[in-house]
Amino acid sequence: MSSHQSPDADADAEFERLLAVVAEFRRRIEADPESLFPAHADSLVRLGGLLAGRGEAAAAAAALAEAVELFRAMAEVDPGAFRVHLASALNSLSNRLDDVADRDGARSACDQAVAEARLAVEARPDQARFVLVSCLINLAGKRLRDGDIGGCLDVLAEAVEVFRAGGAAGTPYLGSMVEALHRAAMAFSEIGRWGEAVDTRRLMIGLFADGPPPAMVHLLALTLQQASLAMAGAGRFDVALASANEAVDLARLLFDKDAAEYRLFLAQALGNQAGRRHQAGDSASGLDAALEAVNLFHEVVGKDPVAAVPSMILTLGSLSEILTGLGMAGQAAIVDEQRHQLQQTLDVLTRSDPGR
């Protein structure tokens, strides 16, 4: 056996150490009730985190509540030094109160955390900025859960603004910011709030001062395509077309940088644009987009037919409708036959490789 302790053993040892530290500080306070020890509050915060990890939600909330009161007292004496710690502890307490289903208490603690963090940023921006960002992300999640969609988006926008103000110092927190905004965008999408989903993707792009990586642009373009389809289904053809057009513009940018990686995506975006143009009454330009999409699909289908053929079938359906609308019934019939043959091919492919 290795002489090193397992992670669980290390965590247990740290847990026991913190219990002893907290007990010692409590004994000191019994002897001198007016005394305040920053290390006591810090130990309670760490203990609360370990208790939460052990599934002891109520004990974790109690530890954080005790830490908050200690930091609150210290912040009254020296707000410049301790307000940021109070904000962070309140933010953690908010999450622990959610764990015990105390929604009102969690919202109150989160609101207090944001208020304290904003004040801390005014005095010590470099120290407090990313605590405020964390508090704002937490607040945005609670507003979303409560159905305050507009309020959630406003808070997310503030979080991004505060994050960007930190410049290079925010690099260690970039992954967490991207993850938080991605979760929010997915949540907006799931409830059909496509405008907010797109706006949240734009906020993600805004995180990158030197320009977003292709993956972030791809996510925005995908969300625009999904929004376009949803808006078309709701009969909002003008909004659907605007979203489709922007998705194509972004897909072209990606294609220009890496044609092999994004050829299929550009084809899919153009296929969607073709349908939206036709619905908006511009069948001639819809035909142009559909033909360009089909040409791109042909370039991809030999390399990855299972990925390309389903979207190509949809685009051929749009192309058939466009041709019919333009009075080209014969050409539409030819396209329908191609679509039928592709569907048969796809059925064979998927039966031979059902795991794909």
For 261-309, the DSSP string reads HHHHHHHHHHHHHHHHHHHTT-HHHHHHHHHHHHHHHHHHHTT-HHHHH
Domain for residue 159, yes or no?
A: no
Domain for residue 57, yes or no?
A: yes
Domain for residue 165, yes or no?
A: no
Whether 301 contacts 309, CB under 8 Å: yes
Domain for residue 93, yes or no?
A: yes
CA–CA dist 333, 346 (Å, integer): 20
The structural domain count of the chain equals 1
Domain for residue 53, yes or no?
A: yes
Domain for residue 248, yes or no?
A: no
* Helix ranges restricted to H, the chain: 7-31, 38-53, 57-77, 79-99, 103-123, 125-145, 149-165, 174-190, 194-206, 214-233, 237-257, 259-279, 283-301, 305-325, 329-352
User: Residue 356: which pLDDT band, with cuts at 50, 70 and 90?
Assistant: low
Query: Quick one: what percent of the chain has pLDDT higher than 90?
Result: 81
The closest of 160, 272, 176 to 227, measured between CA atoms, is 272
Give the angle subtended at the CA of 311 by the CAs of 306 and 315, to the nearest 5°. Answer: 145
pLDDT at 2: 45
pLDDT tens, residue by residue, 251-276: 999 999 999 999 999 999 999 999 99
User: Residue 5: which pLDDT band, with cuts at 50, 70 and 90?
Assistant: low
Q: Which amino acid is at 93?
A: L
Q: What is the CA radius of gyration of the chain?
A: 28
pTM: 0.85
The closest of 226, 224, 230, 229 to 246, measured between CA atoms, is 224
pLDDT tens, residue by residue, 160-203: 999 999 999 999 999 999 999 999 999 999 999 999 999 999 99
The closest of 213, 238, 240 to 224, measured between CA atoms, is 240
Boundaries of domain holding 100:
10-123
- Average pLDDT for the chain: 92
Domain for residue 59, yes or no?
A: yes
> Torsion over CA of 138, 142, 145 and 149, rounded to 10 degrees?
-90
The CATH number of whichever domain residue 85 belongs to comes to 1.25.40.10
CA–CA dist 342, 356 (Å, integer): 17
φ/ψ bin of 167: left (φ > 0), alpha (ψ from -120 to 50), beta (otherwise):
left
pLDDT beyond 80 at 35: no
Domain for residue 30, yes or no?
A: yes
